[in-house]
Every structure is written in structure tokens, then in C-alpha cells.
Amino acid sequence: MDPFLLEALVNGILLGGVFALPVLGCNLVFGVVDVVWLCYAELVMVGMYAVWFLHTQQAWPLYLAFAAALPLVGLLGVLLHLIVVKPLLGAPPINQLLATGGVLFVLQGGAMLVFGTDFRSLGVELPPMEWHDVFVSGTKLAAFCAALAGAAALWAFLKFTYIGIAIRAIARDREVMPLMGVDPRRVYVVASAVGGALAGLAACLLVVQLDVHPFIGLSFGPITFMICVMGGLGNMLGGFLAAFLMGLIVSTGSFWWNTEMSYVIAFAFFIAVIFGRPRGLFAR
């Protein structure tokens, strides 16, 4: 096989892994709380700034900066839930969308005020790996492995812990939960914390690959939501698979045409999917 095509395929899978985390986070929150966090990519942006700030400005070792980003953005998720989402739980979905969309602009504006519009680079890069003329960025590979580890940890949490199982249960039937002694409001907070922590992990993986600036969310936010809808909103496994599909479309698109065109193709594919399967690729 053409090593460049192979490289594109490998990169597509690596990209899919990075898409997967915010998709899982969005789906988790939506499945449980029934509210879309339109500002999800901006939570990631805040996490990226946090890592950049702690590492380059405060001279924290990188691993400590990473370790801080998860609880920090997790806490941000909880605050978002308590301050913005919770008061609107009974409100029409459009109001909830507008509110979390408003937070998007608040976070963008806040980042601009605090950090300015400069592109901030972490300046770390792992050496590339080579295998039979196929070159893969070491940084991307490490990010991919961390993304898979994060997804696996999420899976174990949802599969084996009481609160994780309750999260999967509540996504299907919230009225019945109090009969089992589960306070849905508490589960919402836990899901928001985990959803935020996933954004924090995504931030760690992205900040080593991309320069951070206040509008960075726009470069992966829309595609995150496209993937969520393609996989079926709230469907974790569907979103996970769709993330890899989208990664492959984008990277092979860039291989055959160019990067700009690849996003056009990805978007066209998305439109085709929502016409053909409005409830997602994997809806039964």
C-alpha cells in the first residue's frame, strides 16, 4: 500500500481518538442531564490555557499541569451545571441551548481579556516514529493512547461503579430513580463533573498538538457536535465509533484533496447521514 495513504489512515485513527473524548463528554452530559453543553469546546479551551499557564508561566512540570487540568475543568463543569443549567432544567431546550451558547461567548471573551489573542504554544514535541516508511508523530500517538486510556476509564466507571450504573440507568428513565434511593440532582452533578474532567483530558491532548488561542474551540467544537449527532446524541458507543469514522474521513480527505476540502467532505457526509439516518448512524 502507498505509505502516504497508510500514513493518512493511521493519522485518521489517531485523530479519531482525540475527537472521541469531547464526544464522549458531551454525550454523557446530554444522556444524563438532557442538556447540550454548546460551550463544551470552550471548556476544553480553558483547560488548554490552564496547562499552558501552569507549565510555561508557573514552571509546573508538565505531568502536574495535566493532573491539575482534569479536576479544574471538572469543577468548571460542576459550576456550569449549578449556575447555568440547573435553573433551566424545566425550561424549553432552546433556552438551555441559548444559555450554554452564551457561556461559550463568556469563556471566549474571558480568555481574550486574560490571555489576549496571541497563539500560545506549549513547545513540547515527541520525536516522530517510523515504521516501514510510515511516519507518525510521537505526540499524536501519545495523545491517542491517553485518549483510549481515558475512554477505557470512563467505560469502567460506567460499567462497574454504583454511580456509573445509575448514570446509565437515569439516561433511560429518570422518574423511577428516586424509588431506588437515587437523587437525580446528585447524579446530574456527578455527570457534569465527569463530563468536565473529560474536557480537561481532551485539553491535555490538544494543547500538545495545537497552539491555544481564545477561538480554538471553533476549530473542533462544531465537528464534535457533528460527530455526536452522527453517532446518535447521548449514544456513547455510537459517538465513539463515529469519532473514528470522522477522523478517517478528514485525514483521507486531506490525503486525496487538501485539508480544507476534507472538512467540506466531512460536513457533506454529516448532512447525508442526518438525511438518511436522522437518529444517528447506529440507531436501532
Partner 1 sequence: MEEPALVLEGIRAGYGDFQALFDVGLRVTPGEAVGVVGPNGAGKTTLLRVISGMIRPTRGTARFGEVDIAATPAHELPASGIAHVPENRRLFPHLTVEENLKVGAFIPSARKRFAERSEYVFNLFPKMAQRRHQLAGTMSGGEQQMCAIGRALMSSPRILLLDEPSAGLAPIVVAQVFELVKRIRDEGLTVLIVEQNVAQVLRVVDRAYVLDAGRVVAEGASADLAADPAIRNSYLGGH
Q: Which residues bind partner 1 (CB under 8 A)?
A: 162, 165-166, 168-169, 172-173, 175-184
For residue 130, the SS3 value is strand
Q: How far apart are CB 4 and partner 1 at their closest, in Å?
A: 42
Q: How far apart are CB 172 and partner 1 at their closest, in Å?
A: 6
Closer residue to partner 1 (CB): 86 or 168: 168
Closer residue to partner 1 (CB): 1 or 180: 180
For residue 81, give the nearest of 66, 108, 100 by alpha carbon: 100
Within the chain, what is the greatest distance between any pair of CA atoms? 60
Closer residue to partner 1 (CB): 116 or 178: 178
End-to-end CA distance of the chain: 36
For residue 32, give the nearest of 183, 142, 241, 160 by alpha carbon: 183
Q: How far apart are CB 184 and partner 1 at their closest, in Å?
A: 8
Q: How far apart are CB 163 and partner 1 at their closest, in Å?
A: 8
Closer residue to partner 1 (CB): 110 or 184: 184
How far is Cα 66 from Cα 50, in angstroms, rounded to an integer? 9
Closer residue to partner 1 (CB): 136 or 177: 177
For residue 253, give the nearest of 272, 267, 233, 239 by alpha carbon: 267
Closer residue to partner 1 (CB): 130 or 175: 175
Q: What is the 3-state secondary structure (H, E, C) of 160-199?
A: HCHHHHHHHHHCCCCCCHHHHCCCHHHHHHHHHHHHHHHH
Q: How far apart are CB 187 and partner 1 at their closest, in Å?
A: 10
Q: How far apart are CB 180 and partner 1 at their closest, in Å?
A: 5
Task: Count the Cβ atoms, other than its own, within 10 Å of residue 263.
Answer: 17
Beta bridge partners of 130: 135
Closer residue to partner 1 (CB): 125 or 183: 183
How far is Cα 47 from Cα 49, in angstroms, rounded to an integer? 5
Q: How far apart are CB 113 and partner 1 at their closest, in Å?
A: 42
- Residues 6+ positions from 242 with CB-CB distance below 8 Å: 23, 227, 228, 230, 231, 280, 281, 282
